[in-house]
């Protein structure tokens, strides 16, 4: 009789018990190459922003000579003082906060409800509604028909709605959220329905509270997009008191660019680094917001929490 072969040892169990995990040479080389590549990507990504900050606090002579890299030269805050002493700047800054908050709320309301409905395979006309959304990614009505619709037919000229409504739905964000809802455990919704919740109750009390990761991500995407947008406001707003800060800063940059070499003194200093200062002031609130949302980017949703 042939003797039975001894059972093959469980490598995973041995590693857990001994606490020793041996890494192959190829894996160690991959980790080194991966770390070096990521550091280089971080450096390339951060350098423009660091250079922007350095120029914002540098004097006009060093900027004109191209001697500012990552460290400010000839520390100067004249441009910050000029911009921040302007009452119009703070009015437009407040407008931007208002447009961003209202626009993000509208966008999230439309995107979440639309995506949740499209995620249900039993929805009648589901393919048709998905097709309408995807169609708008490739085809648009054009600038002139869009202007006539918003300014003339809807009467939204010099109105907040001309800024926040036209871009309220991003099809890319819609499709991402639709895919997320499609992977949501059906057992949770069925259990909520048995407990007596309606479709709206399931959506607001079960689905949304367990979708914090995707909701935070989409909220940041929409908020950044609306905060940085300027073209709709530039097109539909005539009243300067309604401008967002991006249009205010755009006008400052346009005014300073053509006169940088023809003026002297403080005006020359303002013209030299107005672009860096205005861009820094524009991105600062988003930079302050990101740390509070970043944790949702790396945390998942416990979709496997249903036990049979």
Residue 240 has pLDDT above 70, yes or no: yes
Q: Distance (Å, rounded) from C-alpha 224 to C-alpha 18?
A: 48
Nearest to 164 by CA among 89, 232, 113: 232
Radius of gyration of the chain (CA): 27
pLDDT digit string (tens) for 255-298? 765 555 444 455 555 666 777 787 788 888 878 877 777 666 65
Amino acid 37: pLDDT? 94
pLDDT band, very low/low/confident/very high, at 305 (cuts 50, 70, 90)? very low
CB-based contact 212:296 (threshold 8 Å): yes
Mean pLDDT over 70-79 rounds to: 81
Helices (H) and strands (E) in the chain, counts: 15, 0
Residue 247 has pLDDT above 90, yes or no: no
pLDDT band, very low/low/confident/very high, at 306 (cuts 50, 70, 90)? very low
CB-based contact 194:176 (threshold 8 Å): no
Amino acid 79: pLDDT? 78
Residue 107 has pLDDT above 90, yes or no: yes
Neighbours of 245 (CB within 10 A): 25
Amino acid 103: pLDDT? 93
Enumerate residues 6+ apart whose C-beta is below 8 A from 51: 68, 69, 70
Neighbours of 130 (CB within 10 A): 17
Q: Distance (Å, rounded) from C-alpha 165 to C-alpha 150?
A: 10
pLDDT digit string (tens) for 166-193? 888 989 889 888 988 888 888 888 888 8
């Amino acid at each position: 009789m042939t003797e039975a072969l001894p059972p093959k040892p469980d490598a995973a169990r041995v590693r857990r018990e001994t606490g020793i995990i041996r890494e192959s040479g190829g894996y160690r080389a991959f980790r080194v190459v991966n770390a070096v590549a990521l550091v280089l990507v971080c450096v390339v990504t951060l350098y423009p922003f660091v250079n922007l900050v350095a120029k914002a606090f540098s004097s006009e002579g060093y900027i004109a000579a191209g001697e500012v890299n990552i460290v400010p030269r000839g520390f100067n805050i004249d441009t910050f003082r000029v911009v921040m002493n302007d009452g119009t700047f703070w009015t437009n800054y407040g407008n931007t906060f208002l447009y961003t908050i209202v626009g993000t709320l509208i966008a999230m309301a439309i995107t979440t409800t639309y995506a949740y409905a499209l995620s249900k395979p039993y929805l009648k006309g589901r393919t048709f509604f998905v097709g309408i959304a995807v169609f708008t990614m490739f085809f648009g009505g054009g600038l002139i028909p869009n202007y006539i619709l918003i300014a003339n037919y809807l009467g939204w000229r010099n109105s907040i709605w001309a800024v926040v409504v036209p871009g309220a739905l991003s099809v890319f964000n819609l499709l991402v959220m639709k895919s997320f809802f499609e992977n949501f455990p059906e057992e949770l919704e069925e259990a909520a329905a048995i407990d007596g919740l309606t479709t709206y109750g399931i959506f607001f009390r079960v689905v949304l509270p367990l979708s914090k990761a995707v909701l935070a991500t989409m909220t940041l995407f929409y908020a950044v997009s609306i905060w940085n947008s300027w073209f709709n406001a530039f097109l539909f707003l005539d009243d300067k008191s309604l401008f967002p800060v991006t249009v205010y800063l755009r006008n400052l940059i346009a005014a300073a660019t053509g006169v940088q070499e023809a003026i002297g003194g403080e005006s020359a200093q303002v013209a030299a680094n107005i672009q860096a200062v205005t861009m820094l002031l524009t991105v600062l609130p988003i930079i302050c917001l990101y740390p509070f949302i970043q944790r949702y980017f790396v945390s998942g949703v416990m979709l496997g929490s249903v036990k049979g």
